[in-house]
């Protein structure tokens, strides 16, 4: 999906997840971390929003590991959480970043290319609803946000 879609889905995911963790869903620092997490996996794509801003690192990752490889896998999520915990970051920081990161993976699974969640295994997971950048992408994202908002309003 496009960066703007990942940002919207990341924020929506955090607003749903934060109360479950007894954390403030609208705290700006946590929202920014969720947004950062929602963009981070595409550091493996030099033409992505985050990839353009992290060259030559993104170019190197793309050349060595390819797009939608390790950075779009469970290995990356577990590794990210373990590193942050080891560095002593508070659980709210880790949760917000990880929630954003997971939202990115969930959103990318909605595209036909899917994800190799169990990287380095070659098996891919996909629930193809729209192609990246297609006119359906904002429709799917809007439906997702409306569904989440409806659930939040319904359950307080």
Binding site for Zn ion (CB under 5 A): 41-42, 108
Give least dist CB 108 to Zn ion, A.
4
Give least dist CB 93 to Zn ion, A.
22
HEC sequence for 33-79: HHHHHHHHHHHHCCCCHHHHHCCCHHHHHHHHHCCCCHHHCHHHHHH
Give least dist CB 48 to Zn ion, A.
7
Give least dist CB 123 to Zn ion, A.
17
Q: Please, which residue, 41 or 69, has the CB nearer to Zn ion?
A: 41
Q: Please, which residue, 33 or 107, has the CB nearer to Zn ion?
A: 107
Q: Please, which residue, 23 or 43, has the CB nearer to Zn ion?
A: 43
Q: Please, which residue, 10 or 25, has the CB nearer to Zn ion?
A: 10
| DSSP β-bridge partners for residue 125 | 115
Q: What is the torsion angle, in degrees rounded to the nearest 10, for the CA atoms of residue 140, residue 132, residue 100 and residue 64?
A: 160
Comparing C-alpha atoms, which of 139, 149, 143 is closest to residue 2?
A: 139
């Amino acid at each position: 999906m496009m960066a703007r879609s990942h940002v919207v889905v990341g924020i929506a995911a955090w607003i749903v997840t934060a109360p479950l963790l007894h954390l403030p869903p609208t705290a700006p620092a946590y929202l920014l971390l969720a947004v950062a997490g929602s963009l981070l996996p595409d550091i493996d794509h030099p033409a992505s929003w985050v990839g353009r801003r992290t060259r030559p690192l993104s170019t190197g990752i793309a050349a060595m590991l390819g797009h939608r490889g390790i950075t779009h896998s469970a290995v990356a999520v577990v590794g990210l959480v373990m590193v942050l915990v080891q560095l002593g970051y508070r659980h709210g920081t880790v949760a917000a970043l990880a929630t954003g990161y997971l939202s990115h993976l969930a959103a990318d699974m909605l595209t036909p290319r899917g994800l190799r969640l169990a990287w380095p295994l070659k098996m891919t997971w996909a629930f193809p609803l729209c192609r990246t950048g297609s006119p359906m992408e904002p429709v799917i994202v809007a439906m997702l946000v409306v569904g989440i908002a409806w659930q939040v309003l319904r359950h307080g």
